[in-house]
Structure 1
Amino acid sequence: MATLQAPTPPRHIVPGDVVAAFSEYLGEWTAAQITHLDPDHQLAGVLHLDWSGPEPMSVADLGEVAPLSRTRGSFTGQPAHCHYEWVLRRSYKVIGTLPLLHEQPPNSYAFGWGMGLDLTLERRRQQGDESKWSDPWAKTITDTELNDPLAGPADPDEETRRLTVRAVQSLDCARLVERYPALTGLTLVGPVTLSTASSLNELTSLKHLMLSDVFGMTEADCLLPRRVPALESLELVSVPAEYATAMKRAWRPEEPQGVYLRIAKPRKPEWLAENLNNPLRDWDGREQISAAIYKKALAQYKATRRAVLAVLASGHSADVLTPRLVELGEQFGEAFNELDERAGFIETVEREDLYDALDAIITEAEAASGADLAWAGKGLTEGCESVRDW
């Protein structure tokens, strides 16, 4: 019986290897040593070294090296030693091996090797600078900050290298690229709907891309290795399945060259139709609505939506379907009677939200059928109105 072979890093590394990389923070090269590999969790123990200088061709160019020692916090006196994902980025290189400089495995975990950052922070402290660290090339922006500068002409921001965008409902990627052409890192945290997403291929210096709850992309918007050749970290969480599949197909072959690839929760069209335009989304996190109540409310909306769309797709006449729609409206109203009796959360705004949710179902059905379904909306609303206590 064949034995299962333990997984290995996609780009070959072994304990003892010394890795060098250019650090933007330091403005020169720095180095670290691989101390351990954990196949079960696909992690590497990385020991940062107290060295920086011109690009090294071999370990001999480092001279006498020692582990970087921390001088602040609970890790004072301990080496800068951490578990990271075991993908050696394409911009890093192995320059040789040395006997292990620290044999105990690290007891901390982090994502992204951040070559040079620990050394930068330690040198700041040595120079007496105890101020809070702020990445000079990073920026986080929200809807108001983003849409104003993108709405009209603006000079390109060549200084920002790492951009995080949050709390934006929609985003024109072509304008984003025009405004921030020099990005090496881009994080988009949604829910947000993109347009012209293929324009991200114009970010030719991009190294890190992370999209979470981001929608609007299709296979045609896929980033291409030949267009963004520096990309070495790609994380996609809750994106359209079509886009996720295309990106996986394009970037999986790049893993052995040093690309970290993570794709999770690809969203199929059915999920997108049910969740992307969720009319109760604003209830999530609202002060008087608990997470449990929101979950039950959303489940009821989805059940009502599915039932109404099925009824309207049956092809029967309005006279036949109206009683069933009235019944579904009653079930909807009664379900929220029960939730409101338990939590007392439905006020004027929530009442309007619930009627808007019913209207949204009819609007979706009208878009799919091309028919005027005002009669259906009337029956659904009348059913809800006849039983509601809120």
Structure 2
Amino acid sequence: MSIQPGDVFGFWNPQLNAYVACQITHIVPADKPDEKDGYAALMLHWTGRELLSIDQLKQVKPLVINFYFWSDHLDHLISAGPIPPEYTYIGNFEVLVEEQPNSYGGWNSGSKMYRQLEWERISEDKRLNFKAASKSDRSQQVEIAGEMVQLNTRSLYMNRIPDLTDYTELDRLPCLTYLTVFDWSSALENYVRTHDFIYKLELELQTAVERIDLQHTLITEFTMKPQNIHELIVPKDMDRMTFEGSLQHDVYIKHEREGRGITLRLNGDAVKTYRFLWGLKDLSVLELYSADDIDLGDVIDRFPSLQSLRMWGKPGYIRGMEQLYKLEQLQMFTTVDMFGFSGEQFPHPHQLPQLHTLWLTSLPDDAAKTIKQAYKQAAKQGLDLSVHQPRKPDWLADNLDNPFRAWDGRDGITPVQAKKAASLYKQIRGQLREFAAQAQTGEMSSKDVQLQLEHTFSTYIEGFNKLDKRKVFIYTEEREEIFGALTPLISGLVKELQAIQIEIDEHSLWEYTDQLRDF
């Protein structure tokens, strides 16, 4: 169907166990001929067990969100087409908001509606205290277990307050929402269970813990590194779980819906730990970052109900691509820098009947051509298809250790700029290796080392300053990649120097490096 401003769609939200609705307010033309138009969708403040008629929905107002740190904001985003298949057309009425939003995002699932309603269930006094504290300045502090902490603290590393034994003292931080914990106890578990605002928890446990029960908490985002838990009980409304670091034992995860509605993200060494995770047979979304070698058959056996599967390689290889068709509920499939498969192995469109988004970036050249041709007709019928940056076999050999390989072929970045970025990285990496060897002689003080590092990093940043000055191309994503390439280099060097009693002020080095940039 042809989408028009004013069109209203309803869709089911499993968290609310009810329907929600949105209105298309604007059609945003694509920047390029081969891209699809975007749609600005405005969430409406309504839920119901059955869809309303268009006349009934005319009385509904836009959803205004003010939970946690939001401040009376409309849930209004631009998303790439097509309209998701689970959206049901209801009708059309006058557009409620004339101004087009500036923010982009994925198609709305109604999660903000759920969060807003949960927020409104908390007593008004607590919500007002939360808002007041979140707007306080840095000079306002409170004492907790002998340590002074800013009143507006949102996230807290628990090792910052080493003498804390009575966790109710944390109530002096009215807008605390995020805890990073290094030791687990029943007292801390009870506190998290009874706290109204803590929804994000990160565990960096120093010792193994047999069981953690978060079932009756408001935790919706959970990160564990390293993975020292044997049994984890999570709330039914858990939204995102992230695992980092290797895992050598089974972890049993108890969830009321066996993973339905959860996004599981596995990073780096944790990518293959899905083999040790039990209890998530109905997992909805799996994201694998810095993958090297993925057996797709294993993934499908463990998570047969996936609706979305996304993989980023370092680069990486996929084995068993011909089994992808077994994911009968698959709606989105994304790969970046993943190789090892051919176009003949990739399922045909009729084998993935639920698929509405297929994004493949930096993949084997022959596979890219075959898949693009095979899905050409499906794209005309509404599939969101993007097949970019096909790679020849020699490209992979040349870019295994290049953190800027994604720049090769990216819109807005020339081949010369991509090549120069790779050269700057190789240069600083070589300089740091040589520098570490020199430091081993014991002839340099910590101060000498700090100054030398600042000089080395200034050369790296100035190189990007010059590139961007000739033709601006470094924006938020590129800026993060430039600094992200430095992170493992700095971390590795700091550990290496610590072993020979040379201390580096890493925070100061990052500040110095950031001040140098013009982009």
In structure 1, how many angstroms separate the alpha carbons of the residues matched to 2:44 and 2:428?
Answer: 59
Which residue is equivalent to 2:101?
Answer: 106
Instruction: Name the SS for the 2:45 alignment partner.
Output: strand
The amino acid across from 1:118 in the alignment is K
Alignment of 1:163 with 2:295, yes or no, is: no
Instruction: Name the SS for the 1:52 alignment partner.
Output: coil
Which residue is equivalent to 1:88?
Answer: 83
- Cα deviation for residue 222 of structure 1 reads 1.4
The within-5 A match list for 1:121-270 is 121-128=115-122, 129-132=196-199, 133-134=220-221, 135=239, 137-142=262-267, 144-148=269-273, 150=275, 157-190=280-313, 191-270=315-394
Q: Which has the higher strand share?
A: 2
- Cα deviation for residue 105 of structure 1 reads 1.6
Spell out, residue by residue over 1:261-319, the C-alpha distance to the aligned partner (whole angstroms, 9 max, x if none).
Answer: 222212123423543xx4x55999xxxxxx999823888xxxxxxxxxxxxxxxxxxxx
Whose relative contact order is higher, 1 or 2, with alpha carbons under 8 Å and at least 6 apart? Answer: 1
Query: Are the equivalent residues in 2 in contact too, given 1:89–1:260 (CA < 8 A)?
Result: no
Q: Classify 1:343/1:121 alpha carbon distance in 2 versus 1 (closer, same or farther; 3 Å).
A: same
Q: CA RMSD in A?
A: 3.3
The within-5 A match list for 1:1-390 is 12-41=2-31, 42-56=37-51, 58-60=53-55, 62=57, 64-72=59-67, 76-110=71-105, 112-128=106-122, 129-132=196-199, 133-134=220-221, 135=239, 137-142=262-267, 144-148=269-273, 150=275, 157-190=280-313, 191-275=315-399, 278=400, 280=401, 295-296=422-423, 343=431, 345-346=433-434
- Cα deviation for residue 205 of structure 1 reads 0.5
The amino acid across from 1:271 in the alignment is W
- Cα deviation for residue 155 of structure 1 reads 6.0
In structure 2, how many angstroms separate the alpha carbons of the residues matched to 1:77 and 1:341?
Answer: 47
Which residue is equivalent to 2:495?
Answer: none
Spell out, residue by residue over 1:16-66, the C-alpha distance to the aligned partner (whole angstroms, 9 max, x if none).
Answer: 101122223333322110111121543221111112223537424647321
In structure 2, how many angstroms separate the alpha carbons of the residues matched to 1:73 and 1:147?
Answer: 35
Instruction: Name the SS for the 2:47 alignment partner.
Output: strand
TM-score for the superposition, normalised by structure 2: 0.50
Q: Percent identity?
A: 25
In structure 2, how many angstroms separate the alpha carbons of the residues matched to 1:100 and 1:267?
Answer: 45
The amino acid across from 1:119 in the alignment is M
Spell out, residue by residue over 1:208-230, the C-alpha distance to the aligned partner (whole angstroms, 9 max, x if none).
Answer: 11111111110122132222211
Instruction: Name the SS for the 1:102 alignment partner.
Output: coil
Query: Are the equivalent residues in 1 in contact too, given 2:12–2:20 (CA < 8 A)?
Result: yes
The amino acid across from 1:48 in the alignment is M
Query: Are the equivalent residues in 2 in contact too, given 1:157–1:181 (CA < 8 A)?
Result: no
- Which has the larger Rg? 1
The amino acid across from 2:290 in the alignment is A
Query: Are the equivalent residues in 2 in contact too, given 1:232–1:258 (CA < 8 A)?
Result: yes
Instruction: Name the SS for the 2:391 alignment partner.
Output: coil
The amino acid across from 2:423 in the alignment is K
In structure 2, how many angstroms separate the alpha carbons of the residues matched to 1:220 and 1:123?
Answer: 48
Question: Which shows bigger deviation, 254-263 or 226-235?
Answer: 254-263
The amino acid across from 1:22 in the alignment is W
Q: Classify 1:298/1:66 alpha carbon distance in 2 versus 1 (closer, same or farther; 3 Å).
A: closer
In structure 2, how many angstroms separate the alpha carbons of the residues matched to 1:66 and 1:243?
Answer: 48
Q: Classify 1:281/1:342 alpha carbon distance in 2 versus 1 (closer, same or farther; 3 Å).
A: closer
Q: Classify 1:16/1:150 alpha carbon distance in 2 versus 1 (closer, same or farther; 3 Å).
A: same
Query: Are the equivalent residues in 1 in contact too, given 2:271–2:289 (CA < 8 A)?
Result: no
Query: Are the equivalent residues in 2 in contact too, given 1:56–1:62 (CA < 8 A)?
Result: no
Query: Are the equivalent residues in 1 in contact too, given 2:17–2:49 (CA < 8 A)?
Result: no
The amino acid across from 1:178 in the alignment is D
- Count how many residue pairs are aligned between Structure 1 and Structure 2: 288
Q: Classify 1:175/1:208 alpha carbon distance in 2 versus 1 (closer, same or farther; 3 Å).
A: same
Structure 1 segments unaligned to the other structure (5+ residues): 1-10, 285-290, 300-338, 350-390
The amino acid across from 2:95 in the alignment is L
- Cα deviation for residue 195 of structure 1 reads 0.7
Which residue is equivalent to 1:364?
Answer: none
- Cα deviation for residue 88 of structure 1 reads 1.1
TM-score for the superposition, normalised by structure 1: 0.65
Which residue is equivalent to 1:315?
Answer: none
In structure 2, how many angstroms separate the alpha carbons of the residues matched to 1:341 and 1:161?
Answer: 39
Q: Classify 1:119/1:270 alpha carbon distance in 2 versus 1 (closer, same or farther; 3 Å).
A: same
Instruction: Name the SS for the 1:101 alignment partner.
Output: coil
